[in-house]
Structure 1
Amino acid sequence: MQFIAEAKSRRACILSRKWRHKWSSIPRLVFDNQCTGSNVYGEPSQNLVKIIDRVLMLHSGPIETFVLSNVGFYTLRDIDHWILHLSKVSIKQITLSIHTWQKYHIPTFFFNCQDLILLKLYGCSANTPSSFEGFENLSTLYLQRVELSLNGLEALIFRCPRLKHLTLKDLEGITRVDIEAARNLESLDIGGAFLKVTFGVMNPLKSVTVRFNDNSENRHGPGNSNSNSSHLHKFFRDVHNIQILKIENYSLKYWALGDVPQTPPHALVHLKFLSICIDFNSKEQILTVMCLIRSSPQLKNENDHRSDHPKNQQMTMAKFWKDHHHSYCLEQVQLVSMRNIYGTEPEQEFMKFLLTSLQNLQTIIIRLRVGIVEGKLLRELLRFRRASVQAEVIFLSPISDDTWDL
């Protein structure tokens, strides 16, 4: 019962006297698009208000989870008294996903929800009150399109001593953050216009996902030809324990600015999974990727390369790979997965390098871009000699970007 929409739960209870009042004690309340059966702005929003009001008024058991994620909901003034109600019932998980032009401002009494273990906010604004003592039990914090001050953000992180999973995306006006206080943090997903992230020497991070925006001009800075070395080294200086690294959007473009370093400041000795969004036309990005792989001796099981959209003017990469063929010792790599592939010449040259260089390679998985036929690419790959007799090439059905989840 707890996994179906509340409106459907109430209708289902009509079928049995035994179930008649079961819906009023469901601990997990999810109010999404299914509650109103429509995404159209207008009447569905008013219907949802009535549904939530009635459910909270008649609810008789503990409420552990409250989720509001309905794209047709816009009556923000009604959220306050729901939050006030939840702050009195030891709520453990709250998700507020607001999809209107106006952000929902988090009321002060929201910070009285002292039993929270998970908090997800999208499209909100908040001011951390000076009296806020922290969420003692919070382990997961997700903030996207949230408006708050840098001091408020760092105070929130500092006052969540059990925080393990942190996501910060598109925070307005915030370009740097210090997470050194999050001493139990295991995973970080950060995206947007961030220029600097301070981790702290003793951080236990195991998983890092980076999704920087394309504001490389601001990141590069006038006359700063060594910005890549500086940014790459600063970012990896204190992440000794990461096992999973995902580099999305324009993050690699940012790290590939200026002079490409030979290695990060420390070897990524624990890294086992690497996912990269790469432009195969960019020699600098390729060199940066090779730098990361070369410094990751445990990277054996999965090395996922994602192709960026090809540019109108393709570069000839054959000479580049010929010049660098013997420059990289990548014996540890056993599996490479590539998606969103167009079959362009730079992509083929990269595949050729993998097949002819990786002696322990077992599998290359290729997922083509929607609309691309595999026949021509397959014929080209069959022509390449293979350094590993076990190397197998597998083609998977195309998949669109919005359905791929790493």
Structure 2
Amino acid sequence: MGNLSPLSDTRFSGEYMSSIGAGQPGSPPGRVKFPSLYTKFDLDRMYQDPDAPMLLESFEAAWLKVGGNEDIPRALTTTSPNDLDVDNWKKTIEYFQKEEHKVASERNKKVCQMQTTVNRGGLYHKNYKRSSVTCIGEDRINNLPEDLVDSILERVPFEDAVRTSIISKTWRYRWTEIRALVFDKKFSKKFAKNEAFGHNEFIKIINQVLTLHKGPILKFHHHIPNMSVDSFQEVDQWMLLLSRNGVKELILTSSNQHYELPSYVFYCLELTKLELENCFFKPPLEFEGFLNIEKLLLKDIDFGANLCGTKINLPQLKTLSLYSCTNVYNFNIKATKLRNLTVIAYPDAMFATLLSNLTKIRFFYIDAQFLKMFTAENIPKWFPHPVNSLRHLWFGKFQFGDLDQLHGALCLLRNSPNLKTLTMNLEMEPQADIGPASSILKSPNSLDYKLCRLTTVEIRYLEGSKPELLFIKLLLAHSPSLQKFTIKISRASNVQKRLEIAMKIMQFPRASTKAKMFYQL
């Protein structure tokens, strides 16, 4: 069809009207509106039917849907809709004659070739199936790359990954090849909402999954829920299965009684990440260490009294986190590549060998109780040389009234010449004697070293005691590169006291001209 000629604002071109046969006497209406269809269908007979207007309207709608071009020029002769002016109506009609619309119309025609029945302005195929619905004849979901599908399934909750089996036949068993199986706390809580849920049902679900699973399991996250159990035989069997499937990431937590790790776990030599919570850690005698592990987190772990002196070789370990473990006596960990170390709630820990590996550590998060071990006799043995690699230091539950903690903190600061950030969470011990701590901090030799690289300091839960203020004054005077000092004052103090604390700190001299003080009152 050729392009439309310019049209006036109020009426259509007479030449164009005559070209489509409008107003020609004696012309059957079917010949005028559908000249190309007249040779194929008996349109004259259709117009003789009493219901001709309704039949014609349905016929025209169907023909337009499959790309009929005869309806486009006819639309120009039609009065524009009430809420659309003539100009916009012309532009709308002209759009249907553009090449892009013709291409789309031709494409839709191919889609409709398989459709045979007119159904209220739409077309419906009698052999329609859900699996045959496609977008422009192309099945994009079933043709996704396998790596992309695996990545998607590993990022959604496991129960949702299983539900993808209803998408199509291609997806029916894709979930059985997932390389990451996550049965965490969220998973167990969802099943616990069911009143019929119990130990047997939970074990049965995981057994079925592992039975149907195909291929390697690179990540396994399992939480043992709080339920009555006589033994952990099923869990032991799962650990055996994992040791034979090249698992690289194992996360095992328990809300139940302590779970004793079977020997199979210590033979998962391809592990790169291991997180354990509420377990007994008793490696076999021949165990020498995990050679590939890079991240190790141990929480509420009981190492047992017979582990004393056991050497654990972790040559690739970069991050070690230890929380509230017991029976840790001379726990011998050799980790020459250790970069991040977290030690929380270890009143009985003796990490002499571990601390000898601090020469390359960059992040050190330490419970203040652990600082008590930094006594005058231990410091020369543990820190014969400065820890030049240390960049970030964090003290938790620090009490200025405890002199052992204060000595340990000052020792670490003296031996960290390249320290950049310091964070302290304070904890005020009720009725603590703060006199000795104040005397130490007043001494000119309390910190006989400039913290030349320190740029950021944050002290939280400040009570405004004399030792706290003296320590802040000490840091400001010994940090020539300081840029940001943030103080979060304890909410236990009233507003007036908070303002008084801030006014006192603002009067302290600063070694850095760029230091900015931030207060969270």
Aligned equivalents of 1:336, 1:51: Cα separation in 2: 50
Q: Does the C-alpha gap of structure 1 residues 4 and 249 become closer, same or farther in structure 2, counting only changes over 3 Å? A: farther
Write the distance in 2 (CA, Å) between the matches of 1:361 and 1:134.
Answer: 42
Alignment-derived partner of residue 23 in structure 1: 175
- Structure 1 position 250 matched with structure 2 position 369: yes
Distance 1:80-1:286 versus aligned 2 partners, 3 A rule: closer
**C-alpha separation between the residues in 2 aligned to 1:265 and 1:246?**
21
**Residue 232 of structure 1 aligns with which residue?**
none
Q: Give the 3 Å change call, closer, same or farther, for CA 377–196 of structure 1 in structure 2.
A: same
Verify the 8 A CA contact 2:341 2:363 in the aligned structure 1: no
Q: 2:473 aligns with which of 310, 327, 352?
A: 352
Higher relative helix content: 2
TM-score (norm. length: structure 1): 0.72
Quote the residue 1:77 is aligned against: 233
- What is the one-letter code of the residue matched to 2:515? A
> Is 1:393 the counterpart of 2:514 in the alignment?
no
How far 1:364 sits from its partner (Å)? 0.6
On the 8 A contact 1:45/1:72 being kept in 2, the answer is no
Q: Aligned pair in 2 of structure 1 residues 19, 345: CA closer, same or farther (>3 Å)?
A: farther
Higher relative contact order structure (alpha carbons within 8 Å, sequence separation ≥ 6)? 1
Q: 1:74 deviation in Å?
A: 5.3
Matches within 5 A, 1:110-125: 110-125=265-280
Deviation at 1:272, TM superposition (A): 2.0
In 2, Cα distance between the equivalents of 1:343 and 1:12? 58
Question: Amino acid of the residue matched to residue 247 of structure 1?
Answer: I
After superposition, the Cα gap between the structure-2 partners of 1:15 and 1:312, relative to the gap in structure 1 and judged at 3 Å, is farther
Paired residues of 1:363 and 1:393 also in contact (CA < 8 A): yes
Specify the alignment match of 2:147 in structure 1: none
CA contact (8 A) 1:33 1:72 kept: no
Within-5 A mapping of 1:119-158 = 119-125=274-280, 127-129=282-284, 135-148=290-303, 157-158=312-313
Letter in 2 for 1:125: F
The corresponding residue for 1:378 is 502
CA distance in 2, matches of 1:186, 1:114: 21
* Aligned partners of 1:92 and 1:117 also within 8 Å: yes
Contact kept? 1:314, 1:346, Cα under 8 Å: no
Please name the residue that 2:464 is paired with.
343
Displacement of 1:297 = 2.0
Q: Which residue of 2 aligns with 1:279?
A: 399
1:379/1:50 CA distance change after superposition, 3 Å: farther
Using the TM superposition, give the Cα deviation of residue 362 of structure 1 relative to its aligned residue in structure 2, in angstroms: 1.7
What is the identity, as a one-letter code, of the residue corresponding to 1:137? N
State the distance in 2 between where 1:59 and 1:322 align. 66
Instruction: Show the counterpart of 1:49.
Output: 203
Q: Kindly provide the amino acid, as one letter, of the partner of residue 463 in structure 2.
A: Y
Equivalent pairs, count: 357
Query: Separation in 1 of the partners of 2:302 and 2:363?
Result: 29
CA deviation digits over 1:134-184, x for unaligned, max 9? 6553444444434455766866724x554454455555433112234x555
Q: 1:36 aligns with which of 188, 192, 215?
A: 188
Q: CA deviation at 1:91?
A: 1.9
> Is the partner of 1:324 in helix, strand or coil?
coil
User: Secondary structure of 1:389's partner?
Assistant: coil
In 1, Cα distance between equivalents of 2:379 and 2:511:
27
Q: Distance in 2 between matches of 1:389 and 1:396?
A: 22
Change (3 A) 1:74 1:119: farther
SS at match of 1:250: helix
Q: State the secondary structure of the residue aligned to 1:240.
A: helix
Distance 1:339 1:24, change over 3 A: same
1:66 to 203, 220, 230: 220
Could you report, residue by residue, the CA deviation over 1:41-84 in whole angstroms, capped at 9, with x for unpaired residues? 99365443233122212222321111112543554332122223
Looking at CA atoms only, which structure, 1 or 2, has the larger radius of gyration?
A: 2
Gaps of 5+ in 1: 200-207, 209-234, 398-406
Distance 2:329 2:485 in 1: 37
Q: Distance in 2 between matches of 1:195 and 1:98?
A: 23
Per-residue Cα deviation, 1:351-373 (whole angstroms, up to 9, x for no partner)? 23333554432211123445555
**CA apart distance, 1:296:** 2.4
Secondary structure in structure 2 of the residue aligned to 1:196: coil
Partner Cα distance (1:37, 1:321) in 2: 51
Higher strand share: 1
Counterparts in 2 of 1:20 and 1:242: CA distance versus 1, 3 Å: same
Out of 270-279 and 283-292, give the one that drifted further.
Answer: 283-292
1:97 paired with 2:97, answer no
Q: For 2:248, give the aligned amino acid.
A: K
Query: Shift of the alpha carbon at 1:396?
Result: 4.9
- The secondary structure found in structure 1 opposite 2:161 is helix
Q: 1:195 to 1:11 in 2, by over 3 A?
A: closer
Q: Which amino acid aligns with 2:262?
A: P
> Would the alpha carbon gap of residues 82 and 153 (structure 1) be closer, same or farther in structure 2, given more than 3 Å must change?
farther
Q: 1:328 aligns with which of 448, 460, 465?
A: 448
**Aligned residue for 1:403?**
none
Q: Distance in 2 between matches of 1:195 and 1:248?
A: 11
Of 327-336 and 368-377, more deviation after overlay is shown by 368-377
Query: What is the match of residue 211 of structure 1?
Result: none
Contact 1:36–1:44 under 8 Å retained in 2: no
